[in-house]
């Protein structure tokens, strides 16, 4: 979550928080959480100045009330921010791991980056989370540093004077010279001066101007982190950082020659590596929103041999509405501590990474002695809940390099309910397609899950047992006829049909189903629903040199209605032989030296013209072609045309958009056309067309031009409310020119009799969806919270655009699919139901129902009609809350961000605004309309 919004609320006019990152301030053994914000101030005379604002904060800073200003450090000319203190330790070029410090402690590679902030007298050390956001933060800080041009005036930071203490007191002697003309300090809250606490470690609040005139080091970010972590017997986490190799690969100077070297090294990997087995523990546990109540060692430490690597996943960490809508939860820390205290007692472990999406959490630990060989750690999340984004369902993943083997660990929680196996299949495919990891070389395209040597997939996959009644399932379990029962397992059936997990392997199920039990016992579900037992919790793998040693459940743990599952593997990892590696590298470089620089790269393309017929809203179309390289290695990239910000239009994507080709090699390129809410309106109006020219550029070579054309079928999705009200005929039955004219019609158009037909009070398409839900789904459990099926959305869209009103009933469309289509329709509106012009008034009067109704009365007629129509429908749903489990808070949360949108660049609501928007909608759900 972006916490810069909370900082922004504390700033004065003219001050802007560019980016914020949560870190830890380190002083000896002390670790204190801090929120670091890079703040920009634009000067009246032109130019700008920057400062780092440091805040103490609550666990997750949502509003300005959650943070308290602790310290300000101006980004002056003697300001530096170095990734790691050198302390005289050496650096190895292109190292896969990190060296050992003089006192014998290892540097650990992975989740945290240690940075040192320096001015003339000030020195602070922070640990920042490893990943692309921290890299972006450091890049922004580097860009903010004043130049070394002697003609550039020194920053004066007069704008920071408002943060000085009202009464200046003597400063500690060690700070007098460092502060220069700044002898005051900022005040925290309403209390008095904190000068007594001012110390060089950064505690207490002060403004550090530092004496001017010092030369700035040649490189702000001189080297990658080499932090030293204290490995205690009890704590099994550690500082983790980027390797030198990662830094070198991310430098701009890493050009074509280096890419060729790297490609040849990958090709010849078997010449300088050997296979070594490492023991991996993989565990998954759906904890049903419970806090840890028992020791986890029966699950995590059941073997005599200590694992080398732990991959531990949780689902349903927190089932509260707060966790669902605001993403923060204290359960994260509780379960992290429980796991850390239950790792195998015969080894010391370092935490490499923790990643969480609402209730889905994944932890990665390694033995201390292996930490130096972990690199290129990235973590990502994909929500597959309602509208394809909510994090109640989805997946989290951590990818990393272990020696020279790439490994990806995925923890997923797929859609629930026995009949929803197609939705589970879709969730799996969405996670595979949308999970992308940044590479340390920014010129390379993101990595997907499939682009790894080893993939470990764990989680509550939620596949059930079908065709058998509950009693028959229990009888087979009692007889331990697990293989007979497994034949009816949905996951087994779907894998056999190649619908999911193609190429993956799962071990034999020799344990009874892990769901559903009465909490605190080993008894099957005795609730009213009496769920049939099922193997919901699974572990699968894909890759070479993998041997499964065990696959079991752990009945001793009774905290949840699920039982935890574990599997241990011996995984063959490629380990580098340094002597052979150097020899191979030398051979590659000698070979490259023989190449003549005069050679010009040249490629041939299998196709240069592409036509996409009948493109539809949110329906992907793909065309592909092949690039075949000639005799010279080449680097290719699709580049921007003059005066354009991107190499292609928004509805087009090229995958991959850049890459490297060895001599006589080929690569397949896919052109993807996908129209969403951001571009549909302009395509409807004719302001944009499915037409573009792509420029394929070869480094040191020529450019190739590709033509893209096609036609877009107009849709009610992305069409303004007032336009739809004037369309009595289905949008696809109208001439394109009529669609264009109506789409461009001003919002406040009055019915002056000039229109071909009188408008409808609300769009017929909206009525069709709401009417269907009113007739079929008012008692549907989890309505607007459970996602629908993508194929069904396409049928709904086509029914709305063609006016085939009976199609939804004839096809027996899933209620959740229609509900999601309604939300997507509201999201796609170029002007929201509550117009942008009324946005701020709505937030101001949230809590005052009379004033809120007055704001609604000022909306254009069609928008006002739709608003009250939707509110009436939602009130009908609330009358059936005992069946559908909906309440005012849930509906206000879901519809608040759809009906009220921030007019500033049409961006998503900040958290404070989101709460006010929910409160505004909540009034209409609880009151008479």
387: confidence class by pLDDT, cuts 50, 70, 90: confident
Q: What average pLDDT does this structure show over 335-351? A: 94
3-state secondary structure of 239: coil
Task: Give the model's pLDDT for residue 813.
Answer: 87
pTM for the full predicted model: 0.68
3-state secondary structure of 51: strand
Task: Give the model's pLDDT for residue 426.
Answer: 93
Task: Give the model's pLDDT for residue 596.
Answer: 46
Is a pLDDT exceeding 90 seen at residue 29? no
Weakest mean pLDDT among 567-576, 649-658, 806-815: 806-815
Torsions phi, psi of 243, nearest 5?
-85, 165
The number of CA neighbours under 13 Å toward the Cβ of 385 is 19
- Alpha-carbon distance 61 to 328, whole Å? 10
CB 195 within 8 A of CB 171: yes
255: confidence class by pLDDT, cuts 50, 70, 90: low
Task: Give the model's pLDDT for residue 595.
Answer: 62
Q: Which residue has the higher pLDDT, 205 or 714?
A: 714
84: confidence class by pLDDT, cuts 50, 70, 90: low
Task: Give the model's pLDDT for residue 33.
Answer: 81
What 64-69 contacts at long range (C-beta under 8 Å, 24+ apart), as own/partner pairs, is: 64/6, 64/7, 64/8, 64/9, 64/10, 64/912, 66/6, 67/6, 67/7, 67/10, 67/35, 68/188, 68/189, 69/10, 69/163, 69/186, 69/188, 69/205
CA torsion, ordered 499, 505, 511, 516, to nearest 10 deg:
-30
Nearest to 771 by CA among 806, 730, 797: 806
Task: Give the model's pLDDT for residue 112.
Answer: 67
Torsions phi, psi of 99, nearest 5?
-75, 180
Could you tell me what percent of the chain has a pLDDT over 70? 81
Is a pLDDT exceeding 90 seen at residue 498? yes
Q: What is the DSSP letter of 165?
A: -
249: confidence class by pLDDT, cuts 50, 70, 90: very low
- Alpha-carbon distance 68 to 359, whole Å? 28
- Alpha-carbon distance 916 to 842, whole Å? 8
Give the highest mean pLDDT range of 317-326, 443-452, 676-685.
676-685
343: confidence class by pLDDT, cuts 50, 70, 90: very high
Give per-residue pLDDT as tens, 208-236. Answer: 333 333 333 333 333 233 332 332 222 22
Kindly report the number of other CB atoms within 10 A of residue 644's CB atom: 12
Kindly report the number of other CB atoms within 10 A of residue 852's CB atom: 21
Query: Average model confidence (pLDDT) for the chain?
Result: 82
Is a pLDDT exceeding 70 seen at residue 332? yes
CB 239 within 8 A of CB 108: yes
Is a pLDDT exceeding 90 seen at residue 50? yes
Give per-residue pLDDT as tens, 877-899. Answer: 999 999 998 999 889 989 988 99
Nearest to 94 by CA among 584, 800, 816: 584
Could you tell me what percent of the chain has a pLDDT over 90? 55
Is a pLDDT exceeding 70 seen at residue 187? no
Note the helical H segments in 760-814: 764-776, 790-802, 807-810
Helix/strand/coil percent split, the chain, to 5: 30, 25, 45
Q: Which residue has the higher pLDDT, 259 or 880?
A: 880
Give per-residue pLDDT as tens, 91-109. Answer: 222 222 333 333 333 333 3
Task: Give the model's pLDDT for residue 89.
Answer: 26
Is a pLDDT exceeding 90 seen at residue 701? no
Task: Give the model's pLDDT for residue 197.
Answer: 31
Give per-residue pLDDT as tens, 589-637. Answer: 777 776 645 578 899 999 999 999 999 999 999 999 999 999 888 889 9
Task: Give the model's pLDDT for residue 93.
Answer: 25
- Alpha-carbon distance 597 to 613, whole Å? 44
Note the helical H segments in 594-725: 677-685, 721-725
Longest C-alpha distance within the chain, in Å?
87
CB 310 within 8 A of CB 365: yes
Instruction: Report how far apart, in Å, the C-alpha atoms of 709 and of each of 652, 671, 673, 697 are.
Output: 11, 12, 10, 20
Q: What average pLDDT does this structure show over 537-544? A: 98
Is a pLDDT exceeding 60 seen at residue 748? yes
198: confidence class by pLDDT, cuts 50, 70, 90: very low
Is a pLDDT exceeding 90 seen at residue 87? no
Instruction: Report how far apart, in Å, the C-alpha atoms of 513 and of each of 193, 417, 430, 471 are.
Output: 62, 16, 26, 14
């Amino acid at each position: 979550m972006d916490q810069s919004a909370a900082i922004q609320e504390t700033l004065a006019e003219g001050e802007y928080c560019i980016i914020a990152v949560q870190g830890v301030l380190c002083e000896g053994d002390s670790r204190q959480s801090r929120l670091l914000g890079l703040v920009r101030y634009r000067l009246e005379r032109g130019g700008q100045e920057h400062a780092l604002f440091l805040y103490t904060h609550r666990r997750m800073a949502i509003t300005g009330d959650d943070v308290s200003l602790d310290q300000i450090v101006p980004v002056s000319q003697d300001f530096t921010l170095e990734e790691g203190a050198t302390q005289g330790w050496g650096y190895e070029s292109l190292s896969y791991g990190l060296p050992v410090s003089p006192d014998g402690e290892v540097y650990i590679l992975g989740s945290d980056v240690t940075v040192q902030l320096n001015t003339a007298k000030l020195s602070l050390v922070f640990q920042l989370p490893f990943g692309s956001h921290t890299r972006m933060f450091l890049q922004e800080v580097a860009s903010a540093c004043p130049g070394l041009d002697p003609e550039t005036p020194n920053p004066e930071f007069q704008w920071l004077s408002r943060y000085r203490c009202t009464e200046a007191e003597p400063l500690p002697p060690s700070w007098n010279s460092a502060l220069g003309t700044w002898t005051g300090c900022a005040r925290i809250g309403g209390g008095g001066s904190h000068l007594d606490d001012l110390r060089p470690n950064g505690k207490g609040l002060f403004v550090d101007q530092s004496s001017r005139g010092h030369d700035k080091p040649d490189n702000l970010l001189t080297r990658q982190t080499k932090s030293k972590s204290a490995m205690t017997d009890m704590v099994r986490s550690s500082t983790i950082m980027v390797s030198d190799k990662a830094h070198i690969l991310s430098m701009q100077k890493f050009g074509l020659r280096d890419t060729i070297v790297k490609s040849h090294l990958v090709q010849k990997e078997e010449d300088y590596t050997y296979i070594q087995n490492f023991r991996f523990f993989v565990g998954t546990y759906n904890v049903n929103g419970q806090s840890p109540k028992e020791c986890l060692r029966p699950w995590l430490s059941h073997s005599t041999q200590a694992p080398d690597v732990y991959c531990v996943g949780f689902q349903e960490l927190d089932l509260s509405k707060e966790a669902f809508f605001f993403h923060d939860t204290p359960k994260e820390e509780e379960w992290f501590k429980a796991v850390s205290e239950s790792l195998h007692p015969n080894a010391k472990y370092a935490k490499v990474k923790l990643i969480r999406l609402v209730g889905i959490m994944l932890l990665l630990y390694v033995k201390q002695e292996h930490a130096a060989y972990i690199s290129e750690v990235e973590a990502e999340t994909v929500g597959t809940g309602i509208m394809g984004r909510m994090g109640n369902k989805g997946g989290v993943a951590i990818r990393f390099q272990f020696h020279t083997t790439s490994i990806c660990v995925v923890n997923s929680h797929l859609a629930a309910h026995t009949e929803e196996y197609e939705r589970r299949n879709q969730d799996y495919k969405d996670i595979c397609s949308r999970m992308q990891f940044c590479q340390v070389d920014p010129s390379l395209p993101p990595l997907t899950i499939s682009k790894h040597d080893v993939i470990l997939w764990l989680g509550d996959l939620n596949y059930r047992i079908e065709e058998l009644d509950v009693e028959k399932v229990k009888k087979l379990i009692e007889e331990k006829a697990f293989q007979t029962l497994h034949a009816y397992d949905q996951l087994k059936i779907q894998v056999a049909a190649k619908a999911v997990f193609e190429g993956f392997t799962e071990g034999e199920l020799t344990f009874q189903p892990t769901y559903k039990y009465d909490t605190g016992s080993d008894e099957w579900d005795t609730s009213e629903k009496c769920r049939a037992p099922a193997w919901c919790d699974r572990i699968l793998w894909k890759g070479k040199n993998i041997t499964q040693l065990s696959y079991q459940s752990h009945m001793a743990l009774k905290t949840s209605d699920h039982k935890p599952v574990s599997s241990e593997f011996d995984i063959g990892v490629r380990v580098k032989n340094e002597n052979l590696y150097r020899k191979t590298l030398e051979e590659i470089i000698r070979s490259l030296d023989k190449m003549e620089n005069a050679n010009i790269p040249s490629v041939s393309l299998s196709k240069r013209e592409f036509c996409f017929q009948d493109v539809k809203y949110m329906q992907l179309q793909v065309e592909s072609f092949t690039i075949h390289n000639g005799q010279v290695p080449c680097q290719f990239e699709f580049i921007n045309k003059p005066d354009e910000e991107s190499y292609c239009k928004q509805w087009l994507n090229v995958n991959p958009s850049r890459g490297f080709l060895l001599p006589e090699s080929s690569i397949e390129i896919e052109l993807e056309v996908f129209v969403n809410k951001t571009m549909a309106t302009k395509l409807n109006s004719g302001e944009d067309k499915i037409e573009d020219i792509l420029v394929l550029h070869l480094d040191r070579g020529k450019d190739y031009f590709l033509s893209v054309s096609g036609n877009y079928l107009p849709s009610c999705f992305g069409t303004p409310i007032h336009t739809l009200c004037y369309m009595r005929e289905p949008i696809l039955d109208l001439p394109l020119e009529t669609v264009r004219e109506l789409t461009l019609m001003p919002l406040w158009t009055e019915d002056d009799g000039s229109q071909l037909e009188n408008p409808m009070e609300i769009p017929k398409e909206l009525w069709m969806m709401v009417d269907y839900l009113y007739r079929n789904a008012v008692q549907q459990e989890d309505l607007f919270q459970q996602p629908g099926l993508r194929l069904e959305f396409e049928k709904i869209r086509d029914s709305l655009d063609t006016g085939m009103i009976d199609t939804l009933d004839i096809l027996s469309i899933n209620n959740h699919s229609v509900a999601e289509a309604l939300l997507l329709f509201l999201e796609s509106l170029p002007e929201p139901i509550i117009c942008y012009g009324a946005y701020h008034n709505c937030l101001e009067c949230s809590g005052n129902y009379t004033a809120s109704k007055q704001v609604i009365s000022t909306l254009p007629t069609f928008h006002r009609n739709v608003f009250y129509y939707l509110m009436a429908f939602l009130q009908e749903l609330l009358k059936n809350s005992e069946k559908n489990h909906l309440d005012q808070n849930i509906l206000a949360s879901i519809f608040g961000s759809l009906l009220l949108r921030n007019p500033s660049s049409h961006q998503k609501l900040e958290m404070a605004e989101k709460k006010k928007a929910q409160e505004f909608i909540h009034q209409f759900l609880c009151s008479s309309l």
